[in-house]
Amino acid sequence: MNVLIVEDEPHIVSLLASCIQEAAPGASLFTTDQSAEAIQIALANPMDLFILDIQLADYKGTQLAKELRAMECYSFTPILFATGLANEELNAYRQIKCYGFLIKPFTRDEVLHAVRDVLSYMDHLRAGKTPQPEILSIEQKSHVLEYPIHQIVYVESFGKHLELHIKSAGEEIRSDRISGLSLKKIAELLGEKSFIQCHKSYIINTAYIQKIDKSEGAIKLVGADQLIPIGHTFKHALKNRGHA
């Protein structure tokens, strides 16, 4: 496979290259710190994966990604963004259909996790399978926010607004605030799937349950620092789902 890394920080290039060589021995690596040169490399060599820094010297990585997507041969090629700008994530996900994000500063384990995840996805494609992630769409004023449902770890209610806690690359969890939506409504939007309400203020994704502490009446979720309380009236629902 061919991988193009477009990044202007040498130590990050070195980390990314090392992780790719570990996850995919034999992969051919191409590197540049210029968007314009990246286009020329991609035209001359068929790429299987792009890792793009969002902030580049000549122009933004998101613009580079749009130019790549405009090429028929790269319409669906996996793209990973390396960025320190978390607010760019949603816009890029929706418009460019990137595969995922590495939020700076990221660790070696986070890079390996993200790269191996992409390789697994590519294996599905080669086998003739095209897994499509289910998307949660939420209207917010003049915007429609979209989230891959499997990345939602838990939802927390704060009266007139909610916070969605979402798994990014590696085990990092970010929080997005949603206004004008009740916990009951978000539960309807999520559907049955793997979600369950465990407290009057919390809905959790049971796929992320790491441990249930019955003595403390709390749930530990993978990647979450906060323990999620179990409400007395919701214990029965957890038990029926085989989690208590």
Higher-pLDDT residue of 99, 125? 99
| Residues 66-99 pLDDT 10s | 899 888 888 889 999 888 765 555 566 556 777 8
| Residues 196-218 pLDDT 10s | 999 999 999 888 888 888 888 99
Cα separation, 109 vs 87, whole angstroms:
23
For range 15-31, the mean pLDDT: 94
Side chain identity, residue 229: P
- Return left, alpha or beta for 220; rule: phi > 0 is left, psi -120 to 50 is alpha, else beta: beta
User: Both 105 and 153 in a single domain?
Assistant: no
Cα separation, 74 vs 4, whole angstroms:
12
For range 230-241, the mean pLDDT: 78
Residue 165 belongs to domain spanning: 135-240
Number of other CB atoms surrounding residue 89 within 10 Å: 20
Of 108, 126, 144, which closes a domain? 126
User: Both 179 and 66 in a single domain?
Assistant: no
For residue 190, the domain's CATH number is 2.40.50.1020
**pLDDT (0 to 100) of residue 108:** 92
Number of domains present in the structure of the chain: 2
- pLDDT grade for 240, boundaries at 50, 70 and 90: low
Whole-prediction pTM:
0.54
Higher-pLDDT residue of 86, 52? 52
